[in-house]
Structure 1
Amino acid sequence: KNFLFSNTPRGARSSAIIYSIIETAKENNLKPYNYLMYLFEQLPNVDTNDPDVIDSLLPWSDILPEECRLPAKEDTTASEA
């Protein structure tokens, strides 16, 4: 249903790729907008054939900048004594 308004199979595929990147960023506690901006800034300047470079840009990478990350949630399940 998300691709109901895609005019072509290529458009539907492109939408699916973007949706997947955004949802994976969310699952890894990233701010999707900030993460996409970071990717758009970095990708033109890196060797995309180098697997180590690509790994460093993935949503679960430990070396992503802090501005891409959501603030850590406080543990509200701990009981107060």
Structure 2
Amino acid sequence: NAAENAIRPFVVGRKNWLHSNSVKGANASAAIYSMIETAKANELEPYAYLSYIIKELPLVETIEQFESLLPWNVKNEHLAYWH
């Protein structure tokens, strides 16, 4: 089942998350895990995707540019350099 496979990393890691020292830390972890799983769901390699958006985000000036960085708008060809 695709849903079960998507949540498996969260179930396996939940004991590690008990050691989040703050609400901000837990929220940051949740945001990163969400980005990783969304990249996977869109058939992107997570490390390459995160590297790509970290490089591109400082250059964003419009909402359209921002939206072009969302995982469902990024093509694997954009990430070829980051593999």
TM-score (norm 1): 0.72
The structural deviation recorded for 1:45 is: 1.4
TM-score (norm 2): 0.70
Extract structure 1 runs of 4+ deviating beyond 2 A.
none
Residue number in structure 1 paired with 2:29: 15
Instruction: Give the aligned CA root-mean-square deviation in angstroms.
Output: 1.9
May I ask how many residue pairs the two structures share in their alignment? 66
Residue number in structure 1 paired with 2:5: none
Q: 1:11 to 1:66 in 2, by over 3 A?
A: closer
For 1:30, what is the secondary structure of its paired residue? coil
> Between Structure 1 and Structure 2, whose CA radius of gyration is higher?
1
Q: Which structure features the higher share of helix residues? A: 2
* Structure 2, unaligned runs of 5 or more: 1-13
Contact 1:56–1:63 (CA under 8 A) maintained in structure 2: no
* Structure 1, unaligned runs of 5 or more: 69-81
Q: 1:45 to 1:36 in 2, by over 3 A?
A: same
1:51 paired with 2:72, answer no
